[in-house]
A = this chain, B = another copy of it.
C-alpha cells in the first residue's frame, strides 16, 4: 500500500491554496466578480492590507488569478480568475453546497 505524507497527498495542492486565513473568502469574492483591490478590501471587512496583498500574490503565483494594472490616475488594479482558477470554482460551489446542507447539524 502506498503511504502518503504531507507533501504528496493527492489533494494537498488544493488544501494549500485555500487553507490560509481569508484565502477562501478572497477567492470567493473574486469568483463573484468583485475584481478590484479596493472593492475586495471593502467587501472583506476587517482584513489587513498585509494579508490581502499576501493572498493575492500567492494566488497569482499559483496561477489562480491574473493581475491587471490600469495606468489611470489614481491607478486601478483588477484580479480575475484564470482558466485554472475557473476550474477550481466548481469545487468551491460544491463546498458551499455541502456547508449549507450540513449547516449546524452533525447528521
Q: Which residues of A contact B (CB under 8 A)?
A: 1, 3-6, 9-15, 18-19, 21-22, 24-25, 28-29, 34, 42-46, 62-63, 83-84, 87-88, 90-92, 94-96, 98-103, 105-107
Contacts of A34 in B (CB 8 A): 1
Most B CB within 10 A of own CB, among A5, A28, A34, A95: A95
Q: Is the CB of A44 within 8 A of B12?
A: no
- With A87-B101, A87-B102: A63-B107 Cβ-Cβ less than 8 Å: yes
- Bound together, the chains give a CA A24 to CA B11 distance in angstroms of 7
Known: A15-B24, A18-B19. 8 other contacts (CB 8 A): A5-B44, A5-B46, A6-B21, A9-B24, A10-B96, A15-B19, A83-B107, A91-B95
